[in-house]
Structure 1
Amino acid sequence: MFLFKKKSVGLDMDTFEARAVELTGNSKAPRLVSCGRIPLEEGTVKEGNIIDAKKAGEALGQLWEDADIDREEVILGVSNQGVLVRFANFPRVPQDKLGNLIRFQAQEFLPMPLQSVVLDHMVVGEVREENKEMLEVLLVAARKEMINAFVEALDSARLMPQEIDVSSLALLRMIPPEDKEKTVAMVHMPYEMGNVLIAAKGVPRLARLIPLNLINYVGKEILQGIGSCSDLETLDWSAYNINEWNEALVSEISSSVDYYHSYGEATRVEKICLSGCGSRIPGAAELLQEALDIPVENSDPLRGIKISSQLEEDLQGRASDFMINISLALRGLEE
Structure 2
Amino acid sequence: MFKFGRGSKRVVGLDIGSSSVKVVEFDHSGERPVLVKFGRCGLLPEAIVDGEIMDRDVVVDTIAELMEVNDIASKEVVTAVSGRAVIVKKIQMTSMTDEEAREAIRWEAEQHIPFDIDDVSLDFQILNRDADPEKMDVLLVAAKKEMLEARADLIRAAGLAPAIIDIDSFAVQNAFEHNYEMPEGAVTLLLNVGCFVTNVNIVKDGVPYFTRDLSFAGNAILEAVQKDLGVDYDEANEILESPDDDRRDDLTSIVGLVGEELAVGIEKSLSYLRAAGEADRIDRIVLSGGSSYAPGLRESIEKRQGSPVEIANPFKNVSYDDAAFGDSDPENLGPQYMVAAGLALRAGGQ
**Residues 26 and 36 in structure 2, CA contact (< 8 A), matched pair in contact too:** yes
- Is the alpha carbon distance of 1:45 and 1:332 closer, same or farther for their aligned partners in structure 2, counting shifts above 3 Å? farther
> Are 2:300 and 1:305 aligned?
no
Work out the CA distance in 1 between the residues paired with 2:346 and 2:322. 24
- Alignment pair present for 1:202 and 2:206: yes
Distance 1:28 1:111, change over 3 A: farther
1:87 aligns with 2:87: no
In the superposition, relative to structure 1, how do residues 79 and 225 fare at CA in structure 2: closer, same or farther (>3 Å)?
Answer: farther
Find the aligned partners of 1:274 and 1:213 in 2 and give their Cα distance. Answer: 12
Pairwise CA distance, 1:41: 3.0
Deviation digits for residues 243-297 of structure 1 (CA, Å, limit 9, x no counterpart): 3322222222232223322222425221111111222112222222221111211
Offset, 1:105: 2.7
Map 1:146-161 to 2 at 5 A: 146-161=147-162
Q: TM-score scaled by structure 1?
A: 0.89
TM superposition score normalised by structure 2 = 0.85
What amino acid sits opposite 1:24 in the alignment? D
SS class of match (2:24): strand
Given residue 192 of structure 2, which amino acid in structure 1 is its aligned partner? Answer: H
Alignment-derived partner of residue 260 in structure 2: 247
- Counterparts of 1:315 and 1:145, CA distance in 2: 39
Q: What residue identity is the alignment partner of 2:145?
A: K
| Structure 1 residue 281 corresponds to structure 2 residue 298 | no
Task: Give SS of 1:318's match.
Answer: helix
**CA shift in 2, pair 1:20/1:260, >3 Å:** same
Deviations 1:294-331 (A, max 9, x none): 12111121111111112233552221100111011001
- Residue 106 of structure 1 corresponds to 109
In the alignment, the residues of structure 2 paired with residue 27 and residue 136 of structure 1 have an alpha-carbon distance, to the nearest angstrom, of: 35
Q: d(CA) in 2 for partners of 1:41 and 1:287?
A: 29
Q: Any idea what SS the aligned residue of 1:279 has? A: coil
1:287 and 1:100 map into 2 onto residues whose CA distance is: 46
The one-letter amino acid of 2:324's match is: L
Name whichever of 149-158 and 236-245 sits farther off.
Answer: 236-245
Q: Any conservation in 2 of the 1:27–1:333 contact (CA below 8 Å)?
A: no
SS state at 1:277 partner: coil
Cα distance, 1:162–1:91 mapped onto 2, change above 3 Å: same
Greater alpha carbon shift after TM alignment, 21-30 vs 199-208: 21-30
Q: Comparing 215-224 with 313-322, which one deviates more in the overlay?
A: 215-224
The one of 41, 47, 64 aligned to 1:38: 41
Structure 2: tracts of 5 or more residues without a match: 1-7, 224-232
Q: Secondary structure at the match of 1:88?
A: strand
**Which residue of the other structure, out of 173, 185, 188, is the alignment partner of 2:189?**
185
* Map of 2:164 onto structure 1: 163
Residue correspondence of structure 1 range 1-335 to structure 2 within 5 A: 6-26=9-29, 28-126=31-129, 133-173=134-174, 174-175=176-177, 177-181=180-184, 182-218=186-222, 220-221=233-234, 222-223=236-237, 232=243, 234=245, 236-237=247-248, 241-313=254-326, 315-316=328-329, 317-333=332-348
Identity of aligned residues (%): 27
Change beyond 3 A, Cα 1:99–1:211: same
Tell me if structure 2 keeps the 8 A contact 1:6–1:333: yes
CA contact (8 A) 2:270 2:280 kept: no
Q: 1:26 to 1:177 in 2, by over 3 A?
A: farther
Structure 1's 23 and 225: CA in aligned 2 closer, same or farther, altered over 3 A? farther
Find the aligned partners of 2:246 and 2:339 in 1 and give their Cα distance: 26
CA deviation after TM superposition for structure 1 residue 234, in Å: 5.0
* Residue pair 1:53, 1:156 contacting (<8 A) in 2 also: no
Amino acid aligned to 1:318: L
Deviations 1:21-54 (A, max 9, x none): 1111258511111111112234432212223333
Letter of the structure 1 residue corresponding to residue 202 of structure 2: I
Secondary structure of the 2:122 match is strand
Distance 1:256 1:312 in 2: 36
| Cα contact 1:58–1:157 (8 A) shared by 2 | yes
Residues 27, 34 of structure 2: 8 Å contact kept:
yes
User: Structure 1: which 5+ residue stretches go unaligned?
Assistant: none
Aligned partners of 1:156 and 1:265: how far apart in 2?
44
SS of the residue 2:96 aligns to: coil
The Cα shift of 1:20 comes to: 1.1
CA shift in 2, pair 1:288/1:213, >3 Å: closer
